Structure 1
Amino acid sequence: MTTAASRRSDRTVSPVFLGILAVTAVTGWATWTGFAEQPGVAVFLFVTAAWIVSLCLHEYAHARTALHGGDISVGAKGYLTLNPLKYTHALLSIVLPVIFVIMGGIGLPGGAVFIERNRIRGRWKHSLISAAGPLTNVLFALVCTAPFWLDALDGVPPGFQYALAFLALLQVTAAILNFLPVPGLDGYGVIEPWLSYNVRRQVEPLAPFGLLIVFAVLWIPSVNVVFFDASHAVLRGLGVDDLQRYCGQDLYRFWRGTDELCVR
């Protein structure tokens, strides 16, 4: 039996998420003030924590939209608490995206909340549920780059500017990848309700391998160049120049040594 108290607990923000927010705030302060002896360490911790926050919000957006679409089961599953440990595949949603950021500076799409689609009525609702996650990344990118496109960087320390620039790059790459119409990714989920039954049945076996296919294709040098050129062009359109983005990634990967251009 579901009571009002249980519904409230299903939607109470998790202490785990609050802890991640606290880490983001503290390391953001350290990045802003230059408190850390090595600025790259502070940038690394700040961007990683903020990236995990964005992953939680991405999955929350899917779940919250599904709730309003008719799937009331998402509450009991813990998806509305923003606790990443409640996801169907914490490895896919949190661990692997963080590893990919550390290795290559790319926003790996998540995808670990199980939506009971049979509870949802209406093709538009299904499309919106799939779109909600990557739209969160778009919003996050806009927030990160607001000081740049609002020309409000006066007084913002260079290290913090660089951290925001790199964090915005992660959001942009995540949004682009998520919106690809590839089975298994959110972009395909947006268009799937509008496809014929025969088409959906034919591509369904590819869903478990969609993300692997995308990253295999990204290993092709010409495709990789086009992808990152597009991502960098979006950032430039949001007011982030190439030096700010480069220095953000350079500081983040502090163990490789920091370019003198980025330390001032």
Structure 2
Amino acid sequence: MLSELISAFRGGQVDFQSIVIQLLALLVIIFLVLPFHEWAHAFTALKLGDTSVKYRGRLSFNPLAHIDVMGSICLLCFGFGWAKPVPIDPRNFKNEKTGMAITALAGPVANLIAALVGDLIFFAIGAFAPSFFMTTVGGYIGYFLRYYVMINVYLAVFNLVPIPPLDGSKILFVFLPDRIVYKFYQYERYIMFALFALLWMGFLSTPLAYLSNFVQNGIDFIAKLPFLWAF
């Protein structure tokens, strides 16, 4: 049943109910996971020495502190989106570039943790109550969990693309000289528009889908380990 559910999902076999479930999963991500993503940035920055995040109201799981309206709309409409970026002062880190890289990495890691939790619930149900997924309600819940995991993995992979202003660019900057990093920041707005254009035209769809599938297979493998006795 689990393999059939996964295959149906990846094969694009969806109906009206499935679309409603996808919207519900996206709302959970907007109101719970994106705040967790931004909180992870703020918490990591604080631990690395940037105490200024304490006074910006971002060390909170309150969705209102993190939600970006346009980013939420894009997530609902196009499957990729964002929350309000957490203001970080890298001057408070012992090493500015390394501190920013670790802080940036915390966000995608938060998405992967959220994906793993959803996957653990999925495989736990499959292990202890496999017939549940055969019911109508169970099938919808299974589909919800699979879509929730997929979007979290996609957001993690997308954010790790080394293009400003995505989190991956902060990791890339560790390995680049300051003069090149400065150029990236100087033209960040234009790079961002180019990124959206590439997404809109679908040029990044195939590589992002390939990487997301690879990562999701890894998440599936890890989540399934505690329940191998059942499969």
> Under TM normalisation by the shorter chain, which class is it?
0.7 to 0.9
Matches of 1:45 and 1:227, distance apart in 2: 21
Identity of paired residues, percent?
A: 26
- C-alpha distance in 2 between matches for 1:49 and 1:221: 24
**Aligned equivalents of 1:197, 1:99: Cα separation in 2:** 35
User: Partner of 1:177: helix, strand, or coil?
Assistant: helix
The equivalent residue for 1:188 is 169
> Using the alignment, how far apart are the partners of 2:143 and 2:45 within structure 1?
35
* Equivalent residues of 1:145, 1:238 under 8 A apart: yes
Provide the rounded CA distance (Å) in 1 between the counterparts of 2:203 and 2:56. 42
Residue 10 of structure 2 is matched in structure 1 by: none
Q: What secondary structure, in the 3-state scheme, does the structure 1 residue paired with 2:59 have?
A: helix
| CA displacement at 1:146 relative to structure 2 | 1.9
In 1, are the aligned partners of 2:72 and 2:82 still within 8 Å (CA)? no
Q: 1:68 to 1:85 in 2, by over 3 A?
A: same
Aligned Cα root-mean-square deviation (Å): 2.7
Q: Is the 8 A contact 2:75 2:82 kept in 1?
A: no
Within-5 A mapping of 1:205-244 = 205-239=186-220
Native 8 Å contact 2:159 2:168 kept in 1:
yes
1:149 is displaced (CA, Å) by 5.4
Q: CA deviation at 1:185?
A: 1.0
- The correspondence of residues 57-206 of structure 1 with structure 2, limited to 5 A, is 57-87=36-66, 90-91=67-68, 95-104=69-78, 106-122=79-95, 123-148=97-122, 152=127, 154=130, 155-156=132-133, 157-206=138-187
Gaps of 5+ in 2: 1-15, 222-231
What do the CA deviations read for 1:83-135 (whole angstroms, capped 9, x no partner)?
A: 34334xx43xxx2333223223x232445110111111124322111110111
Alpha-carbon distance, 1:189 to partner: 0.9
> What per-residue deviation string (whole Å, max 9, x for no partner) do you get for residues 66-96 of structure 1?
1111111111111112234334xx43xxx23
Residue 237 and residue 63 in structure 1: after superposition, are their counterparts in 2 closer, same or farther (change >3 A)?
closer
The 3 A distance-change label for structure 1 pair 193 and 221 is closer
TM-score, scaled to structure 2: 0.73
**1:191 and 1:225 mapped to 2: Cα distance?**
22
Contact 1:184/1:206 (8 A) holds in 2: no
CA distance in 2, matches of 1:235, 1:158: 20
Aligned pairs, number = 197
Q: Name the amino acid aligned to 1:131.
A: L
Give, in whole Å, the separation in 2 of the partners of 1:222 and 1:210.
15
What's the counterpart of residue 43 of structure 1? 21
Q: Which whole-Å deviations, capped at 9, do the CAs of 1:192-248 have from their partners, x for residues lacking one?
A: 2332111112221232344432221123345323322443454355449xxxxxxxx
* 1:11-68: CA deviation from partner (whole Å, max 9, x where unpaired): xxxxxxxxxxxxxxxxxxxxxxxxxxx9558635641332021000000000001111
Provide the TM-score with structure 1 as the length reference.
Answer: 0.65
Cα contact 2:72–2:83 (8 A) shared by 1 = no
Decide whether aligned partners of structure 1 residues 181 and 192 sit closer, same or farther in structure 2, where only a CA change above 3 A counts: same
Query: Which residue number corresponds to residue 7 of structure 2?
Result: none
Cα pair distance change 1:196/1:214, threshold 3 Å: same
Q: Which has the higher helix share?
A: 2
1:255 maps to what in 2? none
